[in-house]
Amino acid sequence: MAERARRVNLPSPPLSTLATRWRPLKVCYSGAVARMEFRACGLRRLTHWAFAAFLATESVAHGNGAFPDTIQIFVAPERGDEFVLTTNFGLVMSRDGGASWQWTCEHGDGLGVGRYEAARAPSPRIWGLSDLGLAFTDDIGCQWTSAVPDGRVAPYDLFADPTDPLRLLILVAGGNGSETSIYESTNAGATFGRQLYKAAARETLTTVESARSDPRVIYATLLPARNPGHPVLLHSGDGGSTWTALDSGPVVDAEDLRIVAVDPTDARTVFFRVVRAEHEELAVTRDGGATFTLPLAVPGKLTAFVQLADGTLLAGAANGNDGAVYRSVDRGATFTEISRAVHPRALAERAGKVYVAADDIQDKFALGVSKDRGQTWQRVMGFADVRGINSCGNLTALCRPSCRAQVANGVFGEAACRGPLMDAGVTPVVPPGTEGGCGCRVYNREPRGFSLQLLMVLALLRRRSTKMTRRRGRGPQWTVQRLVACITHFSPFGK
């Protein structure tokens, strides 16, 4: 019942004033030579080798412009001994209960994914959401297929129905980012299907989720245009044919309201993340949104959540370099801090054990396990335990340059870059135009560890772009605004 890995700190929707065609700032590293590419809105691509070298030497253990970090865990009971740990530089998996680990680099339509969803087992499908759009894989990242039903809309959030492996709820932006809608796919994302809800102009849908116990019940959250500090909860009891807007009550004056989870046994009980300026809270409704309670407030932000099979609730939080786990044994009426031993990115349960996607640098492991409902944690694996590249197709050749970069940065050990071609002594040939694994990553709005470098990049860009726009007869303010818009357009850590 509780196999869904919950990370509550996930992608942000586009700002309603942004054009969806604008491309965010991206940094790539491939092999021993680093190249930095900037795509800022309509600006020309700029390449600065000196800055790339600076970032490569000053940043700690990153192969894609960001610290290696975990995102989510997929450990559905129906998947047996399979683990899939999603990261900001690809997928790490084990098919033998954690005895051995392999890695699939980011490549093709799977580049830069910051949000993953897994279909209900036994379906092998995993969806990935990035600035490139929505893509899916049926072989743990060996091949990614882009789902592009309509070039006029851009998906920015999704929810996989836990009762139907073919059903997907998708939030999309259209109309140059000023219009957001909910679409329902009934063929596992191959097409978007029917439109369930369309927000008014400049209103922004932020999250959507259906109930496990009654999939016809759908909840969505929305930021209104006229009163953005008063989020709205949308409710449908007939599969999206009709909707009711509900007052968010005690979460008024919040910056945002986002769905964390719908209780798997009670479609009227919903947990929310309330985003405020200085802290965050967990809100609960037990009557479908008519009333709310706020049982948990944390400094910093909520990062993870899971409801265990016995009804116990665990919530993870982060405040700067500190992490914490909170537990409720009364179905969310109260919470108690029980651990500061991990920095939780996501939480999941399988066979009575709780798994945490952790901070590999601070916690000294990327995946941990607890046998006492979050009180204590033991190491399952770290990135250094990866012992090979996922052996399928030409993936070994495709991922080896990025793998070598991860080894050089101390993320992987030497054994990580092995594969069937390497072990056989065959020199791989990467077809022209398919060089992958650089792991392009869109910058977070809250860059970790290299804010100084980012500021220097922005200063250089501003100087260059100001000259360009003045030659075109426009003032520098136009460029600066669009550049800022691009950087804040997509954050892998915003939900």
Q: Is the pLDDT of residue 128 over 80?
A: yes
Cβ pair 72, 116 in contact under 8 A: yes
Q: What is the mean pLDDT of residues 151-167?
A: 89
Question: What would the mean pLDDT of 201-210 be, rounded to a whole number?
Answer: 94
In three-state secondary structure terms, 37 is strand
Q: How confident is the model at residue 250 (pLDDT cuts 50, 70, 90)?
A: low
Q: Give the pLDDT confidence of 355-370 residue by residue, as tens digits.
A: 999 999 999 999 999 9
434-454: pLDDT as tens digits: 334 333 232 233 333 334 444
Average the pLDDT over 58-78 and give the result. Answer: 67
For Cα atoms 323, 324, 327, give the angle at the middle one, nearest 5 degrees. Answer: 160
Which domains are present in the chain?
1-495 (2.130.10.150)
pLDDT band at 394 (very low <50, low <70, confident <90, very high): confident
When pLDDT is cut at 50, 70 and 90, the band that residue 419 belongs to is low
Q: Could you give the 3-state DSSP secondary structure of residue 453?
A: helix
Task: Tell me if residue 383 falls in helix, strand or coil.
Answer: helix
- Residue linked to tokens 């932020």: 206
Angle at 74 (CA atoms; ends 102, 386), nearest 5 degrees: 15
Closest by CA to 289, choosing from 305, 268, 275, 273, is 268
Q: Are 416 and 388 in contact (CB under 8 A)?
A: yes
Higher pLDDT, 50 or 184: 184
The residue ranking higher by pLDDT, 380 or 21, is 380
Across residues 117-123, what is the average pLDDT? 90
pLDDT band at 149 (very low <50, low <70, confident <90, very high): low
The model's confidence at residue 153, banded by pLDDT at 50, 70 and 90, is confident
pLDDT of residue 171: 95
pLDDT at 237: 97
Could you give the CA distance from residue 39 to residue 112 in angstroms, rounded to a whole number?
14
| Weakest mean pLDDT among 167-181, 192-206, 214-228, 256-270 | 167-181
Q: How high is the pLDDT of residue 453?
A: 45
* pLDDT (0 to 100) of residue 437: 37
Residue 294 has pLDDT above 80, yes or no: yes
Determine if the peptide bond prior to 13 is cis (ω within 30°).
no
Q: Is the pLDDT of residue 141 over 50?
A: yes
Per-residue confidence (pLDDT) for residue 6, from 0 to 100:
62
Distances (CA, A) of 159 to 208, 248, 261: 7, 22, 11
Q: Give per-residue pLDDT as tens, 235-248.
A: 999 999 999 999 77
The pLDDT of 174-190, averaged and rounded, is 86
d(CA 336, CA 424): 54
**What pLDDT sits at residue 32?**
23
pLDDT band, residue 430 (cuts 50/70/90): very low
Give percent of the chain with pLDDT exceeding 70. 69
- What pLDDT is stored for residue 494 in this prediction? 44
